[in-house]
Amino acid sequence: MRSPFYMSSFLLCLVLAAACGGRRSGNDVIVAGSTSLQPFADKWAEIFAKTRPDLGVSVQGGGSSAGIQACKSGACQIGMSSRELKADEKDLHEIIVARDGLAVIVHPSNPVRGATLSEVKQIFAGDLVNWKFLGGPDKPITVVTREEGSGTRGAFQELVMGKTRIFRGAITEDSNGTVREIVAGDPHSIGFISLGLVNGQVRALGLDGVEGNEANIRNGRYRLVRPFLFLTRGEPTAAARAFIDFVLSDEGQRLVTNEGLIPVK
């Protein structure tokens, strides 16, 4: 009489066991962290799988802070961060795999072509509130920023704002794409996104008279540059080492260039 209950619980266990077992196989390297880096890591993993089909690489998002935590705790072999490590995170081993420029973007119809970094800082601090002070139309500036915890915001805070806070009235969105979408729709807005994501819908401002492009980043004149980091706890495992070597190889770095990032070599 009781057999159906035993039967069903037995089956349930079996299904659970199968589900767990299935997930474990083929993940020799888990790469987790920054969502800015994730799409590139996905591509690297895809190509890497062709040259080394014996090693399974699994890429997960979660954000820079989560990636750093996961790497510290050993939950992943490689952590990804799109911001510099803080003092208490410096015990991790860091490898720069690419660099990314940050662009300050405005609507294409905006007559303002450039600004100084200190003007940009004042705009995001909420002290400079009208385009007329920059030689534009007499319109209030709509400031668009990223949410707290985002690597892009962290990099912008460090490179532009320093200790000054981004003011409370700034519109906050949770991805590069949404920031670009809003700036593309609002003629009086300003925001910041990854340089590689600037397209025809928005225009990047020149900063301190320097255009943001690869040449200016390489020669060090464009200052808004952040590193894309791979992190390991101590020495990487053999499988992780192989993946990192691939990423730093000519083939891996070529992919970086194609995607609008700045290679490290």
Total residues at interface with another protein (CB under 8 A): 34
Rank residues 8 and 116 by Cβ distance to another protein and give the closer one: 8
* Residue 171 found at the interface with another protein (CB under 8 A): yes
154 is a contact residue toward another protein (CB under 8 A): yes
Q: Which residues of 44-62 are buried (b: 16+ CB within 10 A; e: fewer)?
A: bbeebeeeeeebbbebbbb
Question: Is residue 254 involved in binding another protein (CB under 8 A)?
Answer: no
- Give the residue with the Cβ less far from another protein, 50 or 168: 168
Query: Which conformational region is residue 149 in: left (phi greater than 0), alpha (psi within -120 to 50 degrees), or beta?
Result: left
2 makes contact with another protein (CB under 8 A)? yes
79 binds another protein (CB under 8 A): no
Are 34 and 64 contacting, i.e. CB atoms less than 8 angstroms apart? yes
Beta bridge partners of 47: none
Distances (CA, A) of 109 to 144, 161, 199: 17, 26, 14
Cα–Cα distance for residue pair 117/67, rounded to 1 Å: 30
Considering beta carbons, is residue 53 or 169 the nearer one to another protein? 169
Pick from 27, 60, 69, 213: which binds another protein (CB under 8 A)?
Answer: 69
Q: Which residues of 169-194 are buried (b: 16+ CB within 10 A; e: fewer)?
A: ebebbebbebbbbbbbeebbbbbbbb
173 binds another protein (CB under 8 A): yes
176 belongs to the binding site for another protein (CB under 8 A): no
The token pair at 5 is 């209950």
| Contact window for another protein (CB under 8 A) among 128-136, 184-192, 210-218, 254-262 | 184-192
Give the list of residues 6+ apart from residue 252 with CB closer than 8 angstroms, or none.
44, 47, 97, 246
Among 24, 50, 168, 265, binds another protein (CB under 8 A): 168
Strand partners, 114: 206
Determine, following the binding rule CB under 8 A, whether residue 169 of this chain makes contact with another protein. yes
Minimum distance from residue 5 beta carbon to another protein (Å): 7
Residue 240 binds to another protein (criterion: CB under 8 A): no
Residues 195-224 contacting another protein, CB under 8 A? none
Distance of CA 14 to the CA centre of its chain: 40
> Residues with Cβ < 8 Å from 243, sequence gap 6 or more?
29, 31, 44, 45, 48, 55, 57, 78
**Which of these segments, 38-46, 169-177, 214-222, 257-265, binds another protein (CB under 8 A)?**
169-177
Each residue 46-65 as x (binds another protein by CB under 8 A) or -, in order, gives ---------------xxxxx
Q: Is 100 a binder of another protein (CB under 8 A)? A: no
Q: Does 151 bind another protein (CB under 8 A)?
A: yes
* Cβ(106)–Cβ(117) below 8 Å: no
Name the residues that contact another protein, by CB under 8 A. Answer: 1-2, 5, 35, 61-66, 68-69, 140, 142, 147-151, 154, 157, 165, 167-174, 182, 185-186, 189
